[in-house]
Amino acid sequence: MDNVSVISMFTLSGFSGTFSHRVTLFLLTLLCYCVIWLVNLTIVVTIIMDKNLHEPMYIFLCNLCINGLYGTAGFYPKFLHDLLSTRHLISVPGCFLQGFVIHSSVCADISLLALMSYDRYVAICRPLVYHSMMTKKRVVVYTCFAWITPCYLMVVSTGTTLTSRLCGSHISKIYCVNWLISKLACSPSVAQVVVPAFNYTFYVGHGLFILWSYAFLVKSCKTSRENRNKFMQTCLPHLLTLVIFSGSLLFDLLYMRFGSKELSENVQNFMSIDFLVIPPIINPLIYGLRLTQLRNRVAHFTCCTAFQC
């Protein structure tokens, strides 16, 4: 049997249908990645530079955009390289690193979205205690939790796969996923079942918390016109972000495990990367257009940069 010390490279098999259009796909993908950097970096720099935006809602949004850049950095550079390459290989360390970055980014997204829903719940349902509950110290602690916890859980998850003996090197995807790597194990260990199950349960709990927050928000908005205005102004962008991210992620997870393999490879590839394409572009645009204060600051910052004021 082979083990992980013998297997030094993995083969990514999702590129066979891209050869005839690889230059076009490369240019479109490069354009998409540039747009992701542009829109996310604009939001991040604007929030950092403007002290008036140093509020919990904008701080969480800033971290969401940073996480979007972090997660896509684990996919796009390698994907762009593979589009122009005739051999679609990735080293074992590189594969585990890519899986770690993508997975931890997804988990951090869920944590940040949960924090944003909690912030809106406190701001609208308990406005009198908002400033005492969302202090600078607590915001820092919450933000660190949103980053550190996913990284820790993914280190544990990756570690359980690293210790397994692998009997194959073929990954039926255009990027590395821990679940597909673990399927290459000669004999899956108990830890490879327990750890992912715990991680899924942990983040399903985040999802239930978000639903709980919005249940109270909707209930509060029914009794107050002022709260309805706040909801439409600050919660609607978050709700749209949540729906887009959840839909994209669940689509990929469910298809990867239960989807039909009869679909064309190009369709399968799109289904597997939609959460790496749609949310990183749409999220900053939604917030930039819907949040009046942020939109005005972005416009002011852009004009000042253009005219060097």
Sheet (strand 170-171) strand order: 89-91, 9-12, 170-171
pLDDT of residue 273: 84
Buried b (16+ CB within 10 A) or exposed e, 86-116: eebebebeebbbbbbbbbbbbbbbbbbbbbb
pLDDT given at position 3: 43
* Strongest mean pLDDT among 24-38, 173-187, 217-231: 24-38
Average pLDDT over residues 234-246: 77
Do 57 and 287 meet the contact criterion of CB atoms below 8 Å apart?
no
> What digits encode the pLDDT tens for the residues 165-183?
888 888 888 888 888 888 8
Q: Is the pTM of this model over 0.85?
A: yes
Q: What CATH number does domain 9-307 carry, 1.10.645.10, 3.40.190.10, 1.20.1070.10, 3.40.50.720?
A: 1.20.1070.10
Structure confidence at residue 248 as a pLDDT band (50, 70, 90): confident
Q: What is the pLDDT of residue 1?
A: 41
